[in-house]
Amino acid sequence: RPFISKARNIFLRSLSTESIILNTRNIGISAHIDSGKTTLTERILFYTGRINEIHDVRGKDGVGAKMDSMDLEREKGITIQSAATYCKWGPNHINIIDTPGHVDFTIEVERALRVLDGAILVICGVSGVQSQTLTVDRQMKRYSVSRIAFINKLDRTGSNPMKALEGLRKELRLGAALMQLPIGLENDFRGIIDIITREATSFL
């Protein structure tokens, strides 16, 4: 009886561990410098309930973004070393790795990509595909990392999501397709339309 009880506990513990593994994903966020990777991570953490407040990347409020742990990162407003955190969405446990965008810290991106299940490739809605975007894309292809592209900064002057889409297709040679459409651009950016669900979300 004691042996059976012990075996049952081990079996249940094994099932619990397997369930955790199946619901765990390692997701990386990569892009050219100043495309908004850390800002995006900060929002993900906030809207999943991981943090209670959103702070500025450059630390103007004296706190700084959650992922910028080094004083120099807060001062310069750039990511120097990869930083890991986590959040939960439903039954899923998501490990997030925020990687540097500056070319001098490419090795940090390289190390992070080896453990990823997938990635978010952040594209600046104004500048489109940039030099480090090309480098990060090559690294993702080398390690066969699946990714989605997130076009950021559509509220900025000169933003053009179609330019970013064209860059993904021509420069990165990816069969990219829009899953969402913006409602307005620049100062008039006020929401998105999800093409898959055919639902609109307003930010106002």
Whole-prediction pTM: 0.78
What percent of the chain lies above the pLDDT cut of 70?
A: 74
| Cβ partners under 8 Å of residue 173, min gap 6 | none
| 123 has a pLDDT exceeding 90 | yes
Q: Which residue has the higher pLDDT, 53 or 104?
A: 53
Tell me the range of 28-37, 80-89, 109-118, 147-156 where mean pLDDT is highest: 147-156
Span 104-110, average pLDDT: 67
Span 163-175, average pLDDT: 94
pLDDT at position 169: 95
Span 63-87, average pLDDT: 61
Own/partner pairs, 175-178, CB within 8 angstroms, 24+ separation: 176/149
| 93 has a pLDDT exceeding 60 | yes
User: Pick from 46, 45, 65: which is nearest to 55 by CA?
Assistant: 65
Indicate the pairing of strand 118-124 with strand 191-194.
unpaired
Q: Which residue has the higher pLDDT, 31 or 175?
A: 175
Span 141-151, average pLDDT: 91
> What does the alpha-carbon distance between residue 25 and residue 31 come to, in Å, rounded to a whole number?
20
Q: Confidence band (pLDDT; 50, 70, 90) for 125?
A: very high
